[in-house]
Amino acid sequence: MPILENTGKVLGGLGLGRVKPVTAVYDFTVDGGAVGDIVLRGDTVPSGAIVVDALLHVDTALASATGTAALQVETAGDLQPAVAATAAPWSTTGPKRAGLTATSPPVKTTARRPIVLTIGTAALTAGRVTGVVWIVEL
């Protein structure tokens, strides 16, 4: 289900703001693994949203000879800084916390943004990851 922008805003209507999930998927079999930015398939983060947490579910571990992977929504690595594709959080299956957590400084979008996987150094050869970004709209 897409994100319904401007609903449940913290300062809107009755002031009943709520945290909303934004979900997107990377799948090597669909998206490939070339070095560069891959826009994940799924929801986008609305303009002006504040990202308060980021979770990952690794269905298939990323694989690469020497590649790195990072996840971003506003600036490079703001959700998950670049690390080796064969290192945590990408290296084993299951639920993970991304680098941005509920105790990190939040990220605020300046425009409507997709969740982006940035692949560096060498191409990926496998992997499937779902990202869940929790946002608040003011």
Residue 118 pLDDT exceeds 80: yes
Tokens of 101: 């957590």
Kindly list the domain boundaries of the chain, sorted by start residue. 20-137
Tokens of 50: 């504040």
Report the half-sphere exposure of 99 (CA within 13 A, side-chain side).
17
Q: 55: helix, coil or strand?
A: strand
Cα angle for residues 39, 1, 56 (degrees, 5° grid): 50
H helices of the chain, in order, are: 28-31
Give the global pTM: 0.88
Q: How far apart are CA 4 and CA 7, in angstroms?
A: 6
For 23-70, what is each residue's pLDDT tens digit? Answer: 999 999 999 999 999 999 999 999 999 999 999 999 999 999 999 999
